[in-house]
Amino acid sequence: MHELSVCQGLIRQVQRIAEENEATAVDRILLRVGGLSGVEPPLLMHAFEIARMGTLAENAELEIEEGPVVVKCQECGGSSVVPVNRLLCSYCGEWKVNVTEGEELLLLSLDLQTVAQDSKTDKPKEQ
């Protein structure tokens, strides 16, 4: 399952970003997965459970936004959202199209905990 190696790469990137921002933990990871990316979101979710262990993202929630497949027609110039199994121009029906969206796997955002946030959320000491 190549989703595990994808998740391991994701965790390395998340870890690097978290360390650059002096984060103590990662709360949430938001990804966009295109329909033609070759990554299956349910398998990615399962692989994430394994890949995050022992990292700053150990307790993070993974949210996956499935992105559309968009093609641009070489004949009429139209751009349209199409199903992953029907890469045809929606305007003229031509099969000569270029995929402009849908092959991506993007890290959109991270919710990080930092030392400053941790100290703000500490409860006041009882006297």
Ramachandran category for residue 32: left, alpha or beta (phi over 0 → left; psi -120 to 50 → alpha): beta
Instruction: Name the token pair of 25.
Output: 């933990």
> Is residue 121 domain-resident?
no
Number of domains the chain is built from: 1
Domain span including residue 45: 2-67+102-114
Looking up residue 50, the CATH number of its domain turns out to be 3.30.2320.50
Residue 96 in 3-state DSSP? Answer: coil
> Is residue 6 domain-resident?
yes
> Is residue 95 domain-resident?
no
Burial class (CB in 10 A: 0-12, 13-18, 19+), 33: buried
Q: How far apart, in whole angstroms, are the C-alpha atoms of residue 122 and residue 127?
A: 15
> Is residue 53 domain-resident?
yes
Residues 43-68 have a mean pLDDT of 96
> Is residue 91 domain-resident?
no
> Is residue 25 domain-resident?
yes
Strands 61-67, 23-34: pairing kind: parallel
> Is residue 92 domain-resident?
no
Q: In this predicted model, what pLDDT tens digit does every residue of 75-117 receive, in sequence order?
A: 999 999 999 999 999 999 999 999 999 999 999 999 999 876 6
Question: What's the pLDDT at 36?
Answer: 96
Is it the case that residue 41 has pLDDT exceeding 70?
yes
> Is residue 123 domain-resident?
no
CB 90 within 8 A of CB 75: no
Element (H, E) at 105: strand 105-114
Calculate ∠ Cα 88-90-94, nearest 5°: 45
Calculate ∠ Cα 19-52-123, nearest 5°: 65
